Amino acid sequence: MAKEDVLNFEGKVIEVMPDARFRVELDNGHLVVVYTAGKMKKNRIKTLVGDRVTVEMTPYDLDKGRLVFRHKGDSPPPGMRPGGARPGGPPRRR
């Protein structure tokens, strides 16, 4: 492998940690600590417990990684109703 090669894995966020870090369980059962990639910070993409994510890892350290993509789920986020209505109040005006 070349130095620039990275390994891509998919997993599920199981814990949110301080400093934009997450504990992710990969599909193969391995637990890793990942940090949010710069593009995700720049675009303010929020990641919650239970989200499916793609993680980039270097072959030199398989305990750390970079969270590069959050997969969209079929269901709306918890607390949101279909149609954009907020729980406990009228829809937002823009």
pLDDT digits (tens, 9 = 90+) for 27-75: 999 999 999 988 888 899 899 999 999 999 999 998 999 999 999 874 4
The closest alpha carbon to 9, from 46, 45, 59, belongs to: 59
The closest alpha carbon to 36, from 58, 14, 55, belongs to: 55
82, pLDDT greater than 60: no
Tell me which residue has tokens 């929020």. Answer: 46
What pLDDT sits at residue 4? 74
What pLDDT sits at residue 38? 85
What pLDDT sits at residue 78? 56
Residue ranges with strand state E in 1-94 = 7-17, 21-26, 31-36, 52-58, 61-70
Decide if 36 contacts 47 (C-beta within 8 A). yes
